[in-house]
Protein backbone atom coordinates (compact mmCIF):
# COMPACT_ATOMS: atom_id res chain seq x y z
CA UNK A 1 0.00 0.00 0.00
CA UNK A 2 1.29 3.45 -0.88
CA UNK A 3 0.13 6.63 0.80
CA UNK A 4 0.10 10.30 -0.07
CA UNK A 5 3.20 11.84 1.54
CA UNK A 6 2.67 15.53 0.74
CA UNK A 7 0.30 17.58 -1.35
CA UNK A 8 0.82 21.25 -2.16
CA UNK A 9 -0.56 23.89 -4.51
CA UNK A 10 1.47 25.21 -7.44
CA UNK A 11 0.72 26.78 -10.80
CA UNK A 12 1.99 25.07 -13.97
CA UNK A 13 2.00 25.58 -17.74
CA UNK A 14 4.11 27.78 -19.97
CA UNK A 15 2.89 30.96 -18.29
CA UNK A 16 2.45 29.47 -14.81
CA UNK A 17 -1.25 30.20 -15.18
CA UNK A 18 -2.76 26.79 -14.51
CA UNK A 19 -3.56 25.96 -10.89
CA UNK A 20 -2.71 22.45 -9.79
CA UNK A 21 -1.51 20.47 -6.81
CA UNK A 22 1.59 18.28 -6.80
CA UNK A 23 1.49 15.07 -4.80
CA UNK A 24 4.35 12.89 -3.54
CA UNK A 25 3.99 9.39 -2.16
CA UNK A 26 5.45 6.98 0.34
CA UNK A 27 5.46 3.23 -0.16
CA UNK A 28 6.09 3.15 -3.91
CA UNK A 29 8.02 0.09 -4.98
CA UNK A 30 10.48 0.85 -7.75
CA UNK A 31 12.53 3.47 -5.92
CA UNK A 32 11.65 6.30 -8.31
CA UNK A 33 10.15 9.63 -7.26
CA UNK A 34 6.91 9.49 -9.24
CA UNK A 35 4.54 12.41 -8.72
CA UNK A 36 0.94 13.25 -9.50
CA UNK A 37 -0.48 16.61 -10.58
CA UNK A 38 -4.11 17.15 -9.65
CA UNK A 39 -6.16 19.68 -11.62
CA UNK A 40 -9.44 21.10 -10.32
CA UNK A 41 -9.39 18.74 -7.32
CA UNK A 42 -10.51 16.05 -9.73
CA UNK A 43 -9.93 13.19 -7.31
CA UNK A 44 -12.61 14.48 -4.92
CA UNK A 45 -15.33 15.20 -7.49
CA UNK A 46 -18.35 13.01 -8.02
CA UNK A 47 -17.50 12.55 -11.69
CA UNK A 48 -15.13 9.83 -12.82
CA UNK A 49 -11.80 11.62 -13.28
CA UNK A 50 -9.65 11.77 -16.39
CA UNK A 51 -6.16 10.46 -15.72
CA UNK A 52 -2.96 10.16 -17.74
CA UNK A 53 0.10 8.04 -17.01
CA UNK A 54 2.87 10.00 -18.67
CA UNK A 55 6.29 8.36 -18.94
CA UNK A 56 9.15 10.78 -18.40
CA UNK A 57 10.98 11.97 -21.49
CA UNK A 58 13.59 14.60 -20.64
CA UNK A 59 14.39 15.32 -24.27
CA UNK A 60 10.76 15.72 -25.27
CA UNK A 61 9.12 17.10 -22.12
CA UNK A 62 11.80 19.67 -21.29
CA UNK A 63 13.67 20.35 -24.54
CA UNK A 64 10.82 19.69 -27.02
CA UNK A 65 13.07 17.41 -29.05
CA UNK A 66 12.14 16.76 -32.67
CA UNK A 67 12.53 13.00 -32.16
CA UNK A 68 9.25 12.31 -30.37
CA UNK A 69 5.87 13.73 -29.38
CA UNK A 70 6.13 13.52 -25.58
CA UNK A 71 6.36 17.26 -24.87
CA UNK A 72 3.35 18.00 -27.05
CA UNK A 73 1.36 15.21 -25.41
CA UNK A 74 2.26 16.57 -21.99
CA UNK A 75 1.15 20.09 -22.93
CA UNK A 76 -2.06 18.74 -24.47
CA UNK A 77 -2.76 16.80 -21.29
CA UNK A 78 -2.15 19.81 -19.03
CA UNK A 79 -4.40 22.03 -21.17
CA UNK A 80 -7.16 19.40 -21.27
CA UNK A 81 -6.99 18.85 -17.52
CA UNK A 82 -7.00 22.59 -16.92
CA UNK A 83 -10.34 22.70 -18.77
CA UNK A 84 -11.92 19.45 -17.56
CA UNK A 85 -10.03 18.55 -14.41
CA UNK A 86 -7.89 15.46 -14.17
CA UNK A 87 -4.92 13.75 -12.64
CA UNK A 88 -1.57 13.47 -14.37
CA UNK A 89 0.75 10.75 -13.10
CA UNK A 90 4.26 11.78 -14.10
CA UNK A 91 6.14 8.50 -14.06
CA UNK A 92 9.93 8.46 -13.97
CA UNK A 93 10.21 5.84 -16.69
CA UNK A 94 12.66 7.60 -18.99
CA UNK A 95 13.18 5.84 -22.32
CA UNK A 96 10.35 3.35 -21.67
CA UNK A 97 12.30 2.30 -18.61
CA UNK A 98 15.85 1.99 -19.99
CA UNK A 99 17.00 5.39 -18.65
CA UNK A 100 18.29 8.53 -20.32
CA UNK A 101 21.82 7.47 -21.25
CA UNK A 102 20.61 4.22 -22.78
CA UNK A 103 17.94 6.15 -24.69
CA UNK A 104 20.65 8.41 -26.10
CA UNK A 105 22.60 5.29 -27.11
CA UNK A 106 19.41 4.10 -28.81
CA UNK A 107 19.16 7.44 -30.63
CA UNK A 108 22.68 6.90 -31.96
CA UNK A 109 21.57 3.54 -33.39
CA UNK A 110 18.40 5.13 -34.79
CA UNK A 111 20.53 7.70 -36.57
CA UNK A 112 22.21 4.73 -38.24
CA UNK A 113 18.86 3.36 -39.48
CA UNK A 114 17.30 1.24 -36.73
CA UNK A 115 13.79 1.89 -35.47
CA UNK A 116 13.14 2.53 -31.76
CA UNK A 117 12.44 -1.09 -30.89
CA UNK A 118 15.33 -2.53 -32.94
CA UNK A 119 17.66 -0.08 -31.23
CA UNK A 120 16.43 -1.19 -27.79
CA UNK A 121 16.91 -4.84 -28.71
CA UNK A 122 20.39 -4.17 -30.11
CA UNK A 123 21.34 -2.70 -26.74
CA UNK A 124 20.11 -5.83 -24.99
CA UNK A 125 16.78 -4.48 -23.73
CA UNK A 126 13.25 -5.64 -24.40
CA UNK A 127 11.01 -3.34 -26.43
CA UNK A 128 9.44 -1.77 -23.38
CA UNK A 129 10.53 -2.22 -19.75
CA UNK A 130 7.71 -0.27 -18.18
CA UNK A 131 5.62 -1.66 -15.37
CA UNK A 132 2.62 0.34 -14.21
CA UNK A 133 2.23 -1.16 -10.74
CA UNK A 134 3.46 2.01 -9.01
CA UNK A 135 0.94 4.01 -11.04
CA UNK A 136 -1.77 1.71 -9.68
CA UNK A 137 -0.48 2.25 -6.12
CA UNK A 138 -0.59 6.02 -6.69
CA UNK A 139 -4.19 5.87 -7.92
CA UNK A 140 -5.21 3.75 -4.95
CA UNK A 141 -3.41 6.09 -2.53
CA UNK A 142 -5.56 8.91 -3.92
CA UNK A 143 -8.68 6.80 -3.50
CA UNK A 144 -9.24 6.24 -7.22
CA UNK A 145 -10.58 2.93 -8.48
CA UNK A 146 -12.65 4.24 -11.38
CA UNK A 147 -11.12 6.42 -14.11
CA UNK A 148 -11.12 7.65 -17.70
CA UNK A 149 -7.72 7.10 -19.28
CA UNK A 150 -5.91 9.41 -21.68
CA UNK A 151 -3.60 7.31 -23.87
CA UNK A 152 -3.12 5.67 -27.25
CA UNK A 153 -1.34 2.70 -25.70
CA UNK A 154 -3.45 -0.42 -25.01
CA UNK A 155 -0.78 -1.77 -22.63
CA UNK A 156 -1.57 1.01 -20.17
CA UNK A 157 -5.28 0.20 -20.35
CA UNK A 158 -4.60 -3.50 -19.73
CA UNK A 159 -2.24 -2.73 -16.84
CA UNK A 160 -4.98 -0.78 -15.04
CA UNK A 161 -7.73 -3.27 -15.75
CA UNK A 162 -5.57 -6.20 -14.64
CA UNK A 163 -4.94 -4.38 -11.37
CA UNK A 164 -8.66 -3.96 -10.69
CA UNK A 165 -9.02 -0.32 -11.72
CA UNK A 166 -12.20 0.26 -13.72
CA UNK A 167 -11.51 2.23 -16.91
CA UNK A 168 -14.78 3.64 -18.22
CA UNK A 169 -13.41 5.40 -21.25
CA UNK A 170 -10.16 5.74 -23.19
CA UNK A 171 -9.44 9.17 -24.63
CA UNK A 172 -6.70 9.30 -27.27
CA UNK A 173 -4.15 12.07 -27.47
CA UNK A 174 -3.75 13.93 -30.73
CA UNK A 175 -1.17 12.93 -33.34
CA UNK A 176 1.54 15.53 -32.91
CA UNK A 177 3.62 15.30 -36.05
CA UNK A 178 6.63 17.45 -36.72
CA UNK A 179 9.81 17.20 -38.76
CA UNK A 180 11.76 14.29 -37.31
CA UNK A 181 9.16 12.24 -35.42
CA UNK A 182 7.08 10.65 -38.19
CA UNK A 183 8.89 7.33 -38.30
CA UNK A 184 8.90 7.22 -34.49
CA UNK A 185 5.09 7.57 -34.52
CA UNK A 186 4.66 5.04 -37.33
CA UNK A 187 6.82 2.55 -35.47
CA UNK A 188 4.65 2.97 -32.36
CA UNK A 189 1.58 2.05 -34.41
CA UNK A 190 3.16 -0.83 -36.34
CA UNK A 191 5.20 -2.46 -33.59
CA UNK A 192 3.82 -1.06 -30.35
CA UNK A 193 0.08 -1.47 -31.06
CA UNK A 194 -0.57 2.21 -30.40
CA UNK A 195 -4.01 3.41 -31.43
CA UNK A 196 -2.77 6.47 -33.28
CA UNK A 197 -4.56 7.43 -36.46
CA UNK A 198 -1.91 7.44 -39.18
CA UNK A 199 -4.30 9.07 -41.64
CA UNK A 200 -4.75 11.86 -39.17
CA UNK A 201 -0.97 12.06 -38.98
CA UNK A 202 -0.65 12.39 -42.76
CA UNK A 203 -3.32 15.05 -42.92
CA UNK A 204 -1.80 17.28 -40.30
CA UNK A 205 1.71 16.90 -41.66
N1 LIG B 1 13.89 3.41 -25.52
C2 LIG B 1 13.37 4.47 -26.12
N3 LIG B 1 12.44 5.18 -25.47
C4 LIG B 1 11.92 6.25 -26.10
C5 LIG B 1 12.32 6.62 -27.39
N6 LIG B 1 11.61 7.71 -27.74
C7 LIG B 1 10.82 8.00 -26.69
N8 LIG B 1 10.99 7.13 -25.69
C9 LIG B 1 10.34 7.04 -24.40
O10 LIG B 1 9.04 6.58 -24.58
C11 LIG B 1 8.24 6.95 -23.47
C12 LIG B 1 6.88 7.36 -24.00
O13 LIG B 1 6.32 6.22 -24.48
P14 LIG B 1 5.54 6.11 -25.83
O15 LIG B 1 5.65 4.70 -26.28
O16 LIG B 1 5.97 7.22 -26.74
O17 LIG B 1 4.06 6.45 -25.48
P18 LIG B 1 3.20 5.79 -24.36
O19 LIG B 1 3.47 6.55 -23.10
O20 LIG B 1 3.40 4.32 -24.29
O21 LIG B 1 1.74 5.98 -24.89
P22 LIG B 1 0.78 7.23 -24.82
O23 LIG B 1 0.06 7.13 -23.50
O24 LIG B 1 -0.15 7.06 -25.94
O25 LIG B 1 1.63 8.46 -24.92
C26 LIG B 1 9.02 8.03 -22.74
O27 LIG B 1 9.56 7.45 -21.54
C28 LIG B 1 10.16 8.36 -23.70
O29 LIG B 1 11.35 8.74 -23.03
C30 LIG B 1 13.28 5.84 -28.06
O31 LIG B 1 13.65 6.08 -29.18
N32 LIG B 1 13.79 4.78 -27.38
ZN1 LIG C 1 9.78 11.58 -25.95
Please state the domain extents for the chain.
Answer: 3-93+132-177
What's the mean pLDDT in 24-30? 98
- Higher-pLDDT residue of 197 and 165 is 165
CA of 173 to the centre of ligand 2 (A): 14
Is residue 204 pLDDT above 50, yes or no? no
Q: Quick one: pLDDT band at residue 38, thresholds 50, 70, 90?
A: very high
Beta-carbon contacts of residue 105 (< 8 Å; ≥ 6 apart): 119, 123
CA of 64 to the centre of ligand 2 (A): 8
List pLDDT tens digits, range 56-106: 999 999 999 999 999 999 999 999 999 999 999 999 999 999 999 999 999
Q: In the CATH scheme, what is the homologous superfamily, with its name and number, of domain 3-93+132-177?
A: GTP cyclohydrolase II (3.40.50.10990)
Q: Is 69 a catalytic residue?
A: no
Q: Quick one: pLDDT band at residue 200, thresholds 50, 70, 90?
A: very low
List pLDDT tens digits, range 16-25: 999 999 999 9
Q: Is the CB–ligand 1 distance for residue 116 below 6 Å?
A: yes
54 in a labelled binding site: yes
Strands across the sheet with 18-26, in order? 3-12, 18-26, 35-39, 86-91, 50-55, 146-150, 166-171
67 in a labelled binding site: no
How far apart CA 77 and CA 81 sit, in angstroms, is 6
Q: Quick one: pLDDT band at residue 197, thresholds 50, 70, 90?
A: low
Q: Quick one: pLDDT band at residue 192, thresholds 50, 70, 90?
A: low
**Per-residue pLDDT, 196:** 59
3-state SS, residue 174: coil
| Residue 162 near residue 184, CB atoms below 8 Å | no
**Per-residue pLDDT, 45:** 83
Q: Quick one: pLDDT band at residue 43, thresholds 50, 70, 90?
A: confident
| ipTM score | 0.96
| Residue 48 near residue 62, CB atoms below 8 Å | no
- Higher-pLDDT residue of 56 and 205 is 56
List pLDDT tens digits, range 96-133: 999 999 999 999 999 999 998 999 999 999 999 999 99
**Per-residue pLDDT, 176:** 82
Is residue 46 pLDDT above 60, yes or no? yes
Q: Is the CB–ligand 1 distance for residue 120 below 6 Å?
A: yes
CA of 150, nearest ligand number: 1
Q: Is 128 a catalytic residue?
A: yes
The count of other CB atoms within 10 Å of the CB of residue 41 is 13
Amino acid sequence: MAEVRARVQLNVGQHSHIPAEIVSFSGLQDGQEHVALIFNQAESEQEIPLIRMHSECLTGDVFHSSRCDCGEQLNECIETMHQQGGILLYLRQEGRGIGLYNKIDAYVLQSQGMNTYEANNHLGFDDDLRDFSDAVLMLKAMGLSHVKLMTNNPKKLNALRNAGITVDEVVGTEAHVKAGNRSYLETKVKHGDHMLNIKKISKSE
